Structure 1
């Protein structure tokens, strides 16, 4: 499949041919608009390709959703765009896709930035979210307020509900969720899991963690360095898992500095 994407050329005309290509990948339940502030920052000096992963946004739906498949979707899109080598920024599930790309085909990947996720299997975290979204999908929703009212019975945090309901799109008389909810539920074990690999990515990697998030724990460091021995880590204080939305200026600055840097120290 060819993923839905948005390709922006560098703002500076002299870089249109020479600027590095950076793929930007959202997390679970998201779409390519989630990291638009980062995209706007990077496209001054880089080619940016923001994507909707399979079963998200306007990309094709599929019954299967492994990390190898999602990584190959990225390579297929790169081939479609005649891009041989590129870097990746990925948040959460998108960070796992970035890591899978780097391990699967390291000669094509320059650098990666992984936002608040580790190459490990996680426990179930989204059961209430799935229940709430299933309840929304069962109803004939005519307003976003009605959808929020239903979802609030399962998801208490308003900002999380607001994010989830960004996927609502008007189709005729009713609002429908844009992501493929049944496929996300069916593939949830794979999404929260991680495909073990003997491969190593020796190039530069930046992990950015939210200080209040539990997605990257100290005990994951040895696993991270096993796969990515040249990794470095940065922590954004006062943020949780949605660090790119909570403190976008800090997050964007760290990403831009990483891509400009020529000598990143290891963790």
Structure 2
């Protein structure tokens, strides 16, 4: 784990029991999970993580899934967490699958939100273009930043999500807190399949969006090869199912964790 970095995290809830560790997707952060954490922390310890080049974690080259899984394992070691329930959305789901394959003994269960353990094509070109427009335009307000992003990204919800990564510098200019250069350079690794070999045979829940093609029926055989014990539940949502249908998402995760612990 010589190339690991010290990930920023948020830790809340009671200390007894197995904690739930949450990993965000590409261009996300631990902050995106605050409404869910408010509910989960009433009954369990919850650790939300900023993956490298995201949120408040350091920027560093290299985003292959073995490296990002090692970052998470190093955090668990630092927090003295021998085992956890691990939840990951999208890119974070691939990191979670990588942890499950590389260190299955560290997981009590695995929850994967709308991602399959396969390589995907390049579907973030417009997002990178929008973020570069902001970088070059040096806006001084969120409204100006949104107008710059709108030149490349039509969907307001996507622009709003990306804007959660904007912070104001000492000169009043809106800057990206993500490591945009590092992510851009490593995008081939982000699009790749998770790290590790073989299957993870522990308790697994896969939540997929009915209106998302990330875990289509055609990809279920690939998913089952890697996650043979997976319970698959489809929610009436797109890719951002935890934000689009938060109550249904909460209910599915809670029911799975309760079944597993009973």
Structure 2 gaps, min length 5: none
Q: 1:22 to 1:170 in 2, by over 3 A?
A: same
Q: After TM superposition, what 4+ stretches of structure 1 lie above 6 angstroms from structure 2?
A: none
Match of 1:47 in 2: 45
1:6 matched to 2:10? The reply is yes
Q: Residue 95 of structure 2 contacts residue 194 of structure 2 at CA under 8 Å; is this kept in 1?
A: no
- Structure 1: any 5+ residue segments left out of the alignment? 11-15
Answer whether contact 2:98 2:195 (CA < 8 A) is retained: no
* Equivalent of residue 248 in structure 1, options 238, 246, 249: 246
TM-score, scaled relative to structure 1: 0.93
On the 8 A contact 2:55/2:165 being kept in 1, the answer is yes
| TM-score, normalization by structure 2 | 0.95
After superposition, where does 1:188-227 map in structure 2 within 5 Å? 188-195=187-194, 197-227=196-226
Of 143-152 and 191-200, the range deviating more from structure 2:
191-200
How large is the RMSD of aligned CA atoms in angstroms? 1.4
Equivalent runs, 1:76-225 vs 2, <5 Å: 76-172=74-170, 173-195=172-194, 197-225=196-224
Contact 1:122 1:193 in 2 (8 A): yes
* In 1, Cα distance between equivalents of 2:204 and 2:69: 17
Q: 1:62 & 1:113 partners in 2: Cα distance?
A: 27
State the number of aligned residues: 257
Alignment partners' CA distance in 1, 2:71 and 2:53: 12
Contact 1:90-1:113 at 8 Å conserved across structures = yes
1:67 corresponds to which of 23, 41, 65: 65
- The answer as to whether partners of 2:137 and 2:148 remain within 8 angstroms in 1 is no
Contact 1:131–1:154 under 8 Å retained in 2: yes
CA distance in 2, matches of 1:98, 1:244: 16
How far 1:263 moved relative to its partner?
8.9
Contact 1:104 1:199 in 2 (8 A): no
SS of 2:11's equivalent?
A: strand
Question: 1 CA distance for matches of 2:230 and 2:178?
Answer: 32
